[in-house]
Amino acid sequence: MTIHGIHHVTAVASDPQHNLDFYTGLLGLRLVKRTINFDDPGTYHFYFGDAVGTPGTILTFFPWPGARRGTRGAGEIEATSFAIPTGSVGYWLERLKDYHVSAERAPERFGEEVIRLVDTDGMLLELIASSLDGDVQPWTDGPVPAEYSIRGFHSVSAALESHEDTAILLTETFGYRHIQETGDRFRLGALGGGGVGKTIDLIRRSGSQSGRLGAGSVHHLAFRVRDDAEQNAWREKLVTLGYEISPIMDRVYFHSIYFREPGGVLFEIATDPPGFTKDETVAELGTSLRLPPWMETTRPDIERILPRITLV
């Protein structure tokens, strides 16, 4: 058994309108699904990704109005990195400047150009020029021309007090392999060749304070498995290894289990199916508020509580 890469990344935001405007209006991602936090029904859950919601392209948010900003530190995902086409760095630097977004060209990392920026809640993002291939379908109806558009996740960077035990979990259990390292950065990749969302960087942050969850923080990192049978097998395997694993949870568009890895980051293992077209066609994705079937009877109450938003 091996893990097939990143399924999605889920983070915390504050103002839902600002969050929508940044990720669809500026970065040009598609709002793939507009639903609610199933565990906190008075809160939105936004899913942004490519044109069809391909696993490995999905960044999701819980927008909690008035949420206090998080504090960066050890035990969390420090940076979420998107892949952009090679040759598009100049376009993105100009676009970010036009939108008055603070961004910088960072030093090359493992031979690739890197732009670092923060979103409206201070979440650290990177745009990495890469020739990654895969089944990504860029969102051509957005504001970013297709030749420059984001191509899904390049990688995530996990800040850890000590990276060794996390590396053992990823390599000996998940099937990742060591790719490269430089200084305190250790790059691991999922088996199975190229494609988006295959890479994780572990960053050693010895002596750092622990991160504090809040707006601008990543809540959890989700990994891909093919189906329910694989997920069940993973749950059994992780239990035998001594991890405390959640029950299997129905998230409508995928099924999930959760556990804390040795460095403190919350990991999820999510199934690829049923997918985001379970309750909407590709053309309809993100256009209406979708609720899980067991909450439909409370739709009027939920819609009254949720903040008003305008789709970009």
Strands (E) in the chain, as ranges, are 6-13, 30-37, 40-49, 58-63, 76-85, 103-109, 112-118, 124-130, 153-160, 177-182, 185-189, 199-204, 218-225, 249-250, 255-260, 266-271
Taking residue 153's Cβ as centre, other Cβ atoms within 10 Å add up to: 29
Domain boundaries, the chain: 6-305
Q: What is the pLDDT of residue 113?
A: 98
pTM for the predicted model, two decimal places: 0.97
Task: Provide CATH code, domain 6-305.
Answer: 3.10.180.10
Q: What is the pLDDT of residue 2?
A: 87
Q: What is the pLDDT of residue 24?
A: 98
Q: How many helices (H) and strands (E) would you count in the chain?
A: 5, 16
**β-bridge mates for residue 58, sequence order:** 8
Tokens of 268: 């999820």
Q: What is the pLDDT of residue 185?
A: 98
List pLDDT tens digits, range 196-234. 999 999 999 998 999 999 999 999 999 999 999 999 999
Strands (E) in 52-184, as ranges, are 58-63, 76-85, 103-109, 112-118, 124-130, 153-160, 177-182
Of 48, 36, 47, the closest CA to residue 290 belongs to 36
The parts of the chain modelled with pLDDT lower than 50 are none
Q: What is the pLDDT of residue 132?
A: 79
Of 220, 203, 226, the closest CA to residue 273 belongs to 226
User: In what order do the strands lie in the sheet containing 6-13?
Assistant: 30-37, 40-49, 58-63, 6-13, 218-225, 266-271, 255-260, 249-250
Q: Which residue has the tokens 């999922």?
A: 190
